[in-house]
Structure 1
Amino acid sequence: MRKLFDETKINHLLLPNRLVRSATWEGMCEADGRPTKKLAACYANLARGGVGLIITGYAFIRPDGRQLPGQMGIHTDSFAAEMRALTETVHREGGKVCLQLVHVGGQTSSKTIGRQPVAPSAIKVEQFPEEAAELSVKEIGEIAAQFGEGARRAKEYGFNAVQLHASHGYLINQFLSPLTNRRSDAYGGSIENRCRFLLEAYWRVRKAVGSEFPVLVKLNGDDNLAGGLSLDDAITAARALDEEGIDAIEVSGGTPASGDRTPVRQGIDSREQEAYNLPLAYRIKQAVSCPVMVVGGLRSFEIVEGIIRREEADYVAMARPFIREPALAKRWAGGDESHARCISCNGCFKPGLKSGGIYCVVDRIEQESKRVSL
């Protein structure tokens, strides 16, 4: 019987358990995307806390693929020293770290990147701050190549794996979605054509890192949006990736335009609200042979452990609970199986915009109150 704290492998990467810190933007890099000692310390803290695999916040593969302040960049060789220092810090603590690669496409603004954003089609939809410019076939090929260059750098700098971000309304997801992909050429129309850019980016990444280096993907099982990517089309994309040798698929869902079914839902205060992407992940797991991770609202040890025991997914991924409790994995492994302390308020993201890095504001308030009372 599978257990949460089994030792496993993804490709040649040995992991101590099935708990994954899912990618989240930390806001801890310099304005140009250069990682800081603060970010390295954040990952080291997670490694000490016992999580099996740390997936970094999304790293832009070229400047016009950037979205938020303090976002990491993997678009240049000039960050090599800081990147190597980051991975060495994690490895000294016994951790494994995977770099997430992204281009956000139309989900950025000209104010942020200094030019009109690009997307599969020249459209303005709810999730885009402004109308995007349609990418040419030549530009599509260039961006796919830059995913490969980002992966090359990640391997050279000591990261243990890379993950393509194909979820949450970013560029790869924009190609997959018929809502944002209105093209009539080889990259639009049928789901097979809408998968083309995802597969080309994957092929470039695989060529850059070789067959023995783990390459993962974060894939929406459903955009939870009228006219967006459906589960059936997501299964087609997952099967195509599986056939091409992807090493693991992390299943998420939703975009910023998905109302109350976005990727980071608030107010998860009952078990019924947890694991909201599990039905999607389970359907995809049934369709592929590679390992499947599920992310989304996981808070209770019993639910997390049950998912693994029943083989509904191979790994469970969390982000916000590890912001409040970096040592949650160690706590659960040590026998304290009480509920994660995260209350799903999303307050942790606000300091990333104003204070140079995310943190749990609820925990900070509690700690300050204790100091005052002393």
Structure 2
Amino acid sequence: MKSKLFDNFTFKNGVTVKNRIIKSAMSEALGNLHYEPTEGLFRLYEKWADGGTGTLITGNVMIDRKALGEPRNVVADHDSILPFLEKWAEHGSKNNTQLWMQLNHPGKQAFKSAVKEAVAPSAIPFEGKIGRFFHHPREIEKEEIVEVIKRFGYSASLAKKAGFTGVQIHGAHGYLISQFLSPRHNQRKDEWGGDVKGRMKFLVEIYREIRIQTSEDFLISVKLNSADFMKAGFTEEESIYVSKELEEEGIDLLEISGGTYESSPMSKAQQKNSTRIREAYFMDYAEKLSKAVHVPVCVTGGFRSRNGMENALDSNAMDFVGLARPLAIYPDLPILIEKQVMNEIKLDQRKTGIKKIDDLGMLEITWYGQQLRRLAKGKITKPNYPVILSFLQSLAKNGKEILQKQRSNS
């Protein structure tokens, strides 16, 4: 019997995706010094396209070179990048694969090494030890808000011209849109703040601008937090409210995630028995969301078996399975699953056993980033590569910079 994982799916605009597997965004950091995608990035996406994934969502593509999330981001803010984007689209859309560009602005969640200054809805810095990695932000002006909205639209238009089949607006994980949505970070008194209707205005206007600068048949997704998992942050109730409004606007897909740099829900979710059984971190929320909206939903995070993915789809709480780290190790995982060569994905937690190093919280990200770079060079991955060697290799190459927090999932 054919698995639902490999059923196609047709969006309301008539675009059909060949299966229900989505590669969620990961931080590749494979742009060059001119913020352009490189041959390694083309090679990486061709590998994933050949591996059978139905939809590939890129890692962060920034809308403004003055607002980088981290070094070596790709930036789509000028038409001079079009030839590079066209080549990326050519490689990433092979094998009848959907290719969506994730668009983002970091707001205050941009490393000091990447930007000269940072803006945010309100001039509120990060709390705790994490704050030392970031600038104290200034409050973004109204005129700048309008400019940022236009930039999102322009970057999306470049993606469409280049041959990408859609874009994803990054509204999660504590970046600028997520900051606007959060009452903890957005304490404005104008039309861009206040209650959830005011705080979501920035996201809605970005969606509208992208739709204006692209077309009705161009797919637009939003990555949205189920919650921030922080006191006085964005809540599940607000997330569902925003999702309803996005449905009214005509959004094509919602990808559910959660947390920010300041608070990751993953470790807490892993401890829950329901998560261990059902695998996915955000299934409980997805079930609530499915009763409130009829937008196609993708849940990303935690899936480690064919049965887990199929059961999640059979629950009707979601339409797509999002995978990140498994595809960093097994780029042809969809083919392996379909042929029943691999029904379980074993990904051990990456630890050295040295508490001071493990407590830094960056080993997993460094390790998976090195696997992505192997694929980008045309090499095979090393699933059993020792974590301590990965750490020493990165330390030798980057020095103390690796002690900064980085992203494993965009």
Same fold flag (TM > 0.5): yes
List aligned pairs for 1:1-40, cutoff 5 A: 3-10=4-11, 11-40=13-42
Distance in 2 (CA, whole Å) between partners of 1:248 and 1:194 is 21
Distance in 1 (CA, whole Å) between partners of 2:301 and 2:249 is 26
Distance 1:264 1:22, change over 3 A: farther
In structure 2, give the amino acid aligned to 1:152.
Answer: S
Residue 352 of structure 2 corresponds to residue 350 of structure 1: no
Distance in 2 (CA, whole Å) between partners of 1:88 and 1:47 is 10
Distance in 1 (CA, whole Å) between partners of 2:283 and 2:58 is 22
1:198-217 deviation line (CA, Å, top 9, x unaligned): 00111101111111111000
Distance in 2 (CA, whole Å) between partners of 1:186 and 1:43 is 40
1:54-79 deviation line (CA, Å, top 9, x unaligned): 00001000123311222221122111
Q: Is the 8 A contact 2:153 2:206 kept in 1?
A: yes
Corresponding pairs, count: 365
Q: Is the 8 A contact 1:166 1:220 kept in 2?
A: yes
Distance in 2 (CA, whole Å) between partners of 1:263 and 1:172 is 24
Percentage identity across paired residues of the two chains: 32
Q: Is the 8 A contact 2:325 2:368 kept in 1?
A: no
In structure 2, give the amino acid aligned to 1:325.
Answer: Y
Residue 300 of structure 2 corresponds to residue 295 of structure 1: yes
Q: Is the 8 A contact 1:271 1:300 kept in 2?
A: no
Number of the residue aligned with 1:142 = 147
Q: 3-state SS of the aligned residue for 1:100?
A: strand
CA shift, 1:350, in A, is 1.6
In structure 1, give the amino acid aligned to 2:48.
Answer: L
In structure 1, give the amino acid aligned to 2:119.
Answer: V
5+ residue gaps, structure 2, are 351-361, 390-410
Q: Is the 8 A contact 2:10 2:16 kept in 1?
A: yes
Distance in 2 (CA, whole Å) between partners of 1:278 and 1:229 is 18
CA shift, 1:262, in A, is 4.8
Number of the residue aligned with 1:332 = 337
Distance 1:356 1:283, change over 3 A: closer
CA shift, 1:110, in A, is 4.2
1:279-300 deviation line (CA, Å, top 9, x unaligned): 1222222211210110111112
In structure 2, give the amino acid aligned to 1:193.
Answer: G
Please identify runs of 4+ aligned residues in structure 1 that moved more than 4 A.
Answer: 262-270, 351-356, 358-362
Number of the residue aligned with 2:78 = 76
Q: Is the 8 A contact 1:90 1:97 kept in 2?
A: yes
In structure 2, give the amino acid aligned to 1:121.
Answer: S
Distance in 1 (CA, whole Å) between partners of 2:29 and 2:373 is 5
Number of the residue aligned with 2:166 = 161
CA shift, 1:93, in A, is 3.7
Residue 206 of structure 2 corresponds to residue 201 of structure 1: yes
1:8-64 deviation line (CA, Å, top 9, x unaligned): 123333211100000111111113320011001111111111011000001000123
Q: 1:314 aligns with which of 305, 313, 319?
A: 319
CA shift, 1:341, in A, is 3.2
5+ residue gaps, structure 1, are 370-374
CA shift, 1:92, in A, is 3.4
Number of the residue aligned with 1:66 = 68
Distance 1:344 1:198, change over 3 A: farther
Alpha-carbon RMSD across the aligned residues, in angstroms, is: 2.7
Q: Is the 8 A contact 2:28 2:369 kept in 1?
A: no
In structure 1, give the amino acid aligned to 2:325.
Answer: R
Q: 2:261 aligns with which of 246, 253, 256?
A: 256
1:87-139 deviation line (CA, Å, top 9, x unaligned): 1112334322100000010001443122x200000111236523111011111
Q: Is the 8 A contact 1:65 1:102 kept in 2?
A: no
